[in-house]
Amino acid sequence: MGETLHITSGDCAGGSLSRSGLPGEVFVWHDILYDGPRNPGWPDEATLAARAKFIEAATGGGLRREPILRTLRAQYRKLAEAAAYARIVLWFDACLFDQAMLAHVLTCLALKGIRRGDLLCVDAFPGIEPYHGLGQLLPAQMASLYGHRHPVTDAQFAYAATVDQAFATQDTALFSRLAAGDNPPLPWVPAAVRRWLDERPHPETGLGRLESLALNAVRDGHQTPGAIFAAVAVADTPPQYWGDTTLWAKINSLADREPPLVRIAGPAARLPQWESPLDLKAFRITAVAM
């Protein structure tokens, strides 16, 4: 094994980190750990199978179940090997996506007896406005952050286990306590939890926040996926936890409602949620008159 294992979220961030000149191996974690079926902590084979099925559905079949399952198995094997590295450095953003992932990774490390690591959680970078995540940074900018890392504390490991339990069980009472937390060991968690609570269906509209923002963008006259993405990104509060795959799923869900709230026209009945030969510019999304 190498001297240093860098663990991060997102292929863009991982690619930039790989080109940063920092020594060590870069390991990118892939999963949607704020949602879907799972148990707290280290997963068993049944949990991995359920996760693979969920991610296949979440990507509209753009990612297939068997390759997902192989990826999940491989990344837990890699995490189990982390003890062999002299240094573990965790690079994560302040958003919902990354905070749920960070809590899970810390919990799994602790369950394997690995209670060490350096943490870089980045919620801003000079000159980048709005800042949404590490994927926006150039390699040299990534390297400039390295000296700001801090050792993960025992309190952070313990708190991470509580956060992981909340997301795994979708415990509303526990979410409420985390959202209202004062000076928590991982200070970005309360805002991330509040963002997830915003995704729960509104009692009047039945829509979560991201669905509402997407619908507002369409009603404002944005018809192409790219234009809707840009409008929603401006309207949402940083940091942005979602990417195009998630937003396309929300737009599709608006079209699947009874009655539908939007109509999708183009080379397919629904927007592709992963890499596809279909041209996104050929799609048009329009609001259905109420």
Q: What are the residue ranges spanned by the domains of the chain?
A: 4-198, 209-287
- The SS3 assignment for 115 reads coil
Is 1 a residue whose pLDDT tops 60?
A: no
User: Which tokens in the block code for residue 268?
Assistant: 């397919």
- For 62-115, write each residue's pLDDT tens digit: 889 999 999 999 999 999 999 999 999 999 999 999 999 999 999 999 999 999
Contact (Cβ atoms closer than 8 angstroms) between residue 89 and residue 105 = no
How far apart are the C-alpha atoms of 156 and 136, rounded to whole Å?
A: 26
The correct answer on CATH 3.40.50 for the domain covering 4-198 is yes
C-alpha to C-alpha distances, 273 to 59, 83, 134, 236, 252, nearest whole angstrom: 5, 36, 22, 20, 9
Helix then strand count (H, E) for the chain reads 11, 7
Give φ, ψ of 29 to 5 degrees.
-90, 135
What is the pLDDT at residue 58? 86
DSSP conformation class of 202 = P
* 209-287 topology per CATH: Arc Repressor Mutant, subunit A (1.10.10)
**pTM (2 d.p.):** 0.94
The encoded tokens of residue 17 equal 């980190």
- Residue 168: band (very low, low, confident or very high) from pLDDT cuts 50, 70, 90: very high
Q: Any residues with CB less than 8 A from the CB of 204 and at least 6 apart, and which?
A: none
Is pLDDT of 7 > 80? yes
Q: Residue 274: its pLDDT value, please? A: 81
Q: What is the mean pLDDT of residues 13-18?
A: 96
